[in-house]
């Protein structure tokens, strides 16, 4: 179990427009997208860009995190900062994009945490070390875990191609 | 136990007799669509081949469609350069279903695919756009994916690790009253189900009301299925589907509908009574924050937008033109209209709709995604309010987090353009 600090606590239905506003969509390369992560939350975006958010920091959210557009920039921007998202649930396309790119997501239907809380994140349970609350982690379906285990979809597909040729 | 439409499509595409909900399958893809984000797909596609010694080559150029729509004509040097890269890739790869920035063949991807007969009943369609759900209107299983997943499809020809989704059956009863449309049906449904109410599920539409909803209306329905979190929406193909494909899309080949079994197992059933439906409005800042228009009537609006993959078809422009003909857009309110395709634009000109709209004060823009997603044009000022026939009202959606977006049908939008406030189109002046 690893311990990490909550740097942002959000509600339900955080859209990919909030994670990565549409006006930055002309920027597509994963190396270039992190600068626009949560661009409309200017204070948090400034911290990210100033390098004040350590890798492994946690964003906590409610239900349906990543709803809306399929823009992969939303996942690559957070991955670029090596953030971890713990949410009550995720929208389908965002979840798949995160898995494909190696952004760490944890689904915990009863998660409750505030900025500054320390979380112990395990495979089956999250312990909020600040509040003492514990909540269960919903494991990813095996089919999705296989892509994570391969190191992302690029590596997974590359392996298929090589095996086929 | 019988199978739903999507189970049968996935079984066929995976070479299996049947599939169960939760099964993991790798369906062959019939159509793989991207827009400007093909620039990222190309990048990821080349990445896959790194170090393999294999030549990056798409599995089947005839099954790839690329349509420029999100930022047309380009708003920046960056976009223009991305579009240029995509054009070069299209030419080098022999991709023929390519729709560049043109007044005749151009338009929004979700309009071009049906309009050109690229989508057929029973197909598996993937697109790097969440509103790929639209194409379920033609009886296909169509869903949005990310750019890296598309790169994988380009390489392999199938989608990896797809879990067979459960299906919610939606029965549409009755017939829509005057000034009530498919947009009101889907807004009502998203409000009922909630923004995550159908996540990892398919909405399969049935009911007597479908007979009165043409393909244009069904595209509106399926387009917004994703706003309830659904993987897709689907209308099992029927006589209207065939009429559309033959008469409007020019399809000559055999059409092979894949229909749900009569004893298909649905997770649950939702009934919508269209007879009792009134015009609906989705209020800021979530699409499921839906109220009857009567609950928000009178709210002043700065900008009204009619168009998009949701409501930029000829039927939609006809409704708007009928309401606005001989009237004037209220002072202080801007009306922006953008047809869903070049073909529709031409039809709207021929029918006189464009002249009526322009005479009323509308700005008729080129076909494309226009102001919908705040990347290109028609951005809102601080504190401004928009009323739009598009599909999303998230905070910042139209380019400014300090603005508000309400969503509605073309009838509500046009009636409100006359008054400058959110207006029930069933009221006298708008008829």
Q: Suggest the residue from B53, B76, B147, B286 to mutate for an interface test with chain A (most A CBs closer than 10 A).
A: B147
Tell me what pLDDT residue B429 has: 47
Closest-CA residue to B162 (of A28, A65, A99): A99
Q: Do A165 and B147 touch (CB under 8 A)?
A: no
Domain B281-430 belongs in CATH node 3.30.499.10 = yes
Closest-CA residue to B202 (of B6, B375, B401, B31): B6
Q: Do A64 and B54 touch (CB under 8 A)?
A: no
Q: How many whole angstroms separate alpha carbon B178 and alpha carbon B188?
A: 16
Q: Burial of B60 by CB count in 10 Å (0-12 exposed, 13-18 middle, 19+ buried)?
A: middle
| Statement: residue B258 has pLDDT above 90 | yes
Q: Does ipTM surpass 0.90 in this model?
A: yes
Closest chain A C-alpha to B124 CA, distance in angstroms: 17
Q: How many CB pairs under 8 A join A and B?
A: 158
Exposure string over B299-309, b if 16+ CB within 10 A, otherwise e? bebbbbbbbbb
- Over residues B228-243, the pLDDT tens digits come to 999 999 999 999 999 9
Q: Do B392 and A165 touch (CB under 8 A)?
A: no
Q: Do A144 and B396 touch (CB under 8 A)?
A: no
Q: Which neighbouring-strand residues pair with B407?
A: B282, B388
At CA B365, angle to CA A72 and CA B357, rounded to 5?
135
Lowest mean pLDDT among A7-11, A106-110, B370-374: B370-374
SS3 for B182-193 is HHHHHHHHHHHH
Of the two residues B214 and A140, the one the predictor is more confident about is B214
| Statement: residue A1 has pLDDT above 70 | no
Closest partner residue to B195 (CB to CB) among A28, A64, A161 is A64
Residues from chain A that touch B14, judged by Cβ atoms under 8 A, are: none
Residues from chain B that touch A15, judged by Cβ atoms under 8 A, are: 392, 394-395, 397
Q: How many whole angstroms separate alpha carbon B196 and alpha carbon B394?
A: 14
Q: Suggest the residue from B20, B75, B149, B309 to mutate for an interface test with chain A (most A CBs closer than 10 A).
A: B149
| Statement: residue B351 has pLDDT above 50 | yes
Residue B360 pLDDT grade (very low, low, confident, very high; cuts 50, 70, 90): very high
- Over residues B317-331, the pLDDT tens digits come to 999 999 999 999 999
Closest-CA residue to A23 (of B282, B372, B81): B372
N-to-C CA span, chain B: 49
| Statement: residue B430 has pLDDT above 80 | no
Q: Do A93 and B394 touch (CB under 8 A)?
A: no
Residues from chain B that touch A160, judged by Cβ atoms under 8 A, are: 155-156, 160
Tell me what pLDDT residue A141 has: 84
Percentage of residues in chain B having pLDDT higher than 70 = 99
Among chain B residues, CA nearest to A162? B52
Interface of B with A in 209-228 (CB under 8 A): none
Closest-CA residue to B33 (of B85, B98, B120): B98
Q: Do B160 and A147 touch (CB under 8 A)?
A: yes
Mean pLDDT over residues B50-78, rounded? 97
Q: Does B399 touch chain A (CB under 8 A)?
A: yes
Closest-CA residue to B147 (of A118, A135, A152): A152
Average pLDDT, chain A: 96
Closest chain A C-alpha to B206 CA, distance in angstroms: 24
Mean pLDDT over residues B116-131, rounded? 98
Q: Burial of A132 by CB count in 10 Å (0-12 exposed, 13-18 middle, 19+ buried)?
A: exposed
Q: Does B77 touch chain A (CB under 8 A)?
A: no
Q: Where are the domains of chain B?
A: 5-272, 281-430
Residues from chain A that touch B147, judged by Cβ atoms under 8 A, are: 28, 72
- Over residues B141-194, the pLDDT tens digits come to 999 999 999 999 999 999 999 999 999 999 999 999 999 999 999 999 999 999
Residue with tokens 């620039």: B39
Q: Do B71 and A141 touch (CB under 8 A)?
A: no
Residue A140 pLDDT grade (very low, low, confident, very high; cuts 50, 70, 90): confident
Q: How many whole angstroms separate alpha carbon A17 and alpha carbon B393?
A: 10
Q: Suggest the residue from B20, B23, B146 to mutate for an interface test with chain A (most A CBs closer than 10 A).
A: B146
Q: Suggest the residue from A20, A28, A78, A99 to mutate for an interface test with chain B (most B CBs closer than 10 A).
A: A28
Residue with tokens 């713990």: A86
Interface of B with A in 46-65 (CB under 8 A): 47-52, 54
Q: Do B375 and A17 touch (CB under 8 A)?
A: no
Residues from chain B that touch A93, judged by Cβ atoms under 8 A, are: 130, 144-146
Our CA dihedral for B398, B400, B401, B405, rounded to 10 degrees, sits at -40
Taking the CA atoms of B284, B188, B338 and B316 in sequence, report the sign of the dihedral they define. negative
- Over residues B271-329, the pLDDT tens digits come to 999 999 999 999 999 999 999 999 999 999 999 999 999 999 999 999 999 999 999 99
Interface of B with A in 110-169 (CB under 8 A): 128-130, 144-149, 151-152, 155-156, 160-161, 163
| Identical fold between B5-272 and B281-430 | yes
Residues from chain B that touch A89, judged by Cβ atoms under 8 A, are: 196, 199
Q: How many whole angstroms separate alpha carbon B5 and alpha carbon B261?
A: 8
Q: How many whole angstroms separate alpha carbon A122 and alpha carbon A140?
A: 13
SS3 for chain B is CECCHHHHHHHHHCCCCCCCCCCEECCECCEEEECCCHHHHHHHHHHHHCCCCCCCCCCCHHHEEEECCCCCCCCCHHHHHHHHHHHHHHHHHCCCEEECCCCCCCECHHHHHHHCCCCCCCCEEEECCHHHHHHHHHCCEEEECCHHHHHHHHHHCECCCEECCEEEEEEEECCCCCCCCHHHHHHHHHHHHCCCCCECEEEEEECHHHHHCCHHHHHHHHHHHHHHCECEEECCCCHHHHHHHHHHCCCCCCCCCCCCCCCECCCEEEEEEHHHCCCEEECCCCCCCEEEHHHCCCCECCEEEEEHHHHCCHHHHHHHHHHHCCCCCCCCCEEEEECCEHHHHHHHHHCCHHHHHHHHCCEECCCCCCCCCCCCCCCCCCCCEEEECCCCCCCCCCCCCCCEEEECCHHHHHHHHHHCECCCCCCHHHC
Q: Suggest the residue from A23, A70, A74, A162 to mutate for an interface test with chain B (most B CBs closer than 10 A).
A: A70
CATH architecture, domain defined by B5-272: 2-Layer Sandwich (3.30)
Closest partner residue to A22 (CB to CB) among B82, B129, B375 is B375
Q: Do B160 and A64 touch (CB under 8 A)?
A: no
Closest-CA residue to B305 (of B414, B222, B395, B422): B414
| Statement: residue B375 has pLDDT above 90 | no
Determine how many CB atoms are found less than 10 A away from the CB of residue A69. Answer: 28
At the topology level, CATH places domain A2-139 in Aconitase; domain 4 (3.20.19)
- Over residues B385-417, the pLDDT tens digits come to 999 999 999 999 999 999 999 999 999 999 999
């Amino acid at each position: 179990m690893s311990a990490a600090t909550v740097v942002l606590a959000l509600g339900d239905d955080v859209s990919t427009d909030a994670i990565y506003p549409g006006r930055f969509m002309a920027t597509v390369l994963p190396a270039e997208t992190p600068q626009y992560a949560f661009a409309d939350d200017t204070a948090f975006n400034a911290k990210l860009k100033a390098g004040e958010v350590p890798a492994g920091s946690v964003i906590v959210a409610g239900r349906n995190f990543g709803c809306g557009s399929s823009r992969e920039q939303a996942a690559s921007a957070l991955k670029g900062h090596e953030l971890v998202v713990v949410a009550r649930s995720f929208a389908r396309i965002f979840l798949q994009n995160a898995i494909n790119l190696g952004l760490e997501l944890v689904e915990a239907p009863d998660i409750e945490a505030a900025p500054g809380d320390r979380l112990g994140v395990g495979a089956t349970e999250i312990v909020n070390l600040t509040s003492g609350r514990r909540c269960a982690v919903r494991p990813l379906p095996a089919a999705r875990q296989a892509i994570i285990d391969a190191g992302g979809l690029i590596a997974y597909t590359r392996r298929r191609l090589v095996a086929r040729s | 136990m019988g199978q739903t439409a999507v189970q049968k499509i996935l079984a066929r595409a995976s070479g299996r007799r049947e599939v169960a909900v939760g099964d993991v399958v790798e369906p062959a893809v019939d159509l793989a669509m991207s827009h400007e984000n093909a620039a990222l797909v190309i990048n990821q596609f080349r990445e896959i081949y790194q170090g393999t010694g294999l030549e990056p080559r798409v599995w089947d150029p005839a099954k790839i469609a690329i349509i420029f729509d999100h930022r047309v004509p380009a708003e920046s040097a960056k976009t223009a350069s991305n579009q240029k890269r995509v054009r070069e890739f299209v030419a080098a790869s022999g991709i023929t279903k390519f729709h560049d920035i043109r007044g005749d063949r151009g338009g929004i991807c979700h309009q071009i695919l049906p309009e050109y007969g690229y989508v057929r009943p029973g197909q598996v369609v993937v697109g790097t756009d969440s509103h790929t759900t639209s194409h379920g209107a033609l009886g296909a299983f169509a869903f949005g994916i990310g750019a890296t997943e598309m790169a994988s499809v380009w390489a392999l020809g199938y989608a990896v690790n797809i879990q067979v989704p459960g299906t919610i059956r939606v029965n549409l009863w009755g017939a829509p009253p005057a000034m009530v449309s498919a947009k009101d049906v889907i807004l009502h449904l998203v409000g009922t189900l909630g923004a995550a109410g159908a996540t990892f599920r398919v909405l399969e539409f049935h009911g007597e009301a479908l007979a009165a909803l043409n393909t244009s209306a069904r595209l509106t329905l399926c387009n917004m299925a994703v706003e309830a979190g659904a993987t897709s929406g689907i209308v099992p193909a029927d006589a209207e589907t065939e009429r559309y494909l033959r008469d409007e899309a020019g399809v000559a080949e055999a059409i092979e509908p894949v229909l749900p079994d009569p004893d298909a197992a649905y997770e649950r059933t939702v009934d919508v009574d269209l007879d009792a439906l009134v015009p609906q409005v989705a209020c800021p800042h979530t699409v499921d924050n839906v109220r009857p228009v009567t609950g928000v009537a009178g709210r002043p609006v700065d900008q009204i937008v009619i168009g998009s993959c949701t409501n930029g078809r000829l039927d939609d422009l006809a409704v708007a033109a009928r309401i606005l003909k001989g009237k004037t857009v209220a002072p202080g309110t801007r009306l922006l209209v953008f047809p869903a395709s070049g073909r529709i634009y031409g039809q709207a000109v021929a029918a006189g709709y464009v002249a009526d709209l322009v005479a009323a004060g509308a700005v008729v823009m080129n076909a494309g995604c226009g102001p919908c997603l705040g990347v290109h044009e028609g951005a809102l000022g601080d504190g401004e309010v928009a009323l739009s026939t598009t599909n999303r009202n998230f905070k910042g959606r139209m380019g400014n987090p300090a603005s508000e977006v309400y969503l509605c049908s073309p009838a509500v939008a046009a009636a409100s353009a006359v008054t400058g406030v959110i207006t029930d189109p069933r009221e006298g002046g708008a008829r």
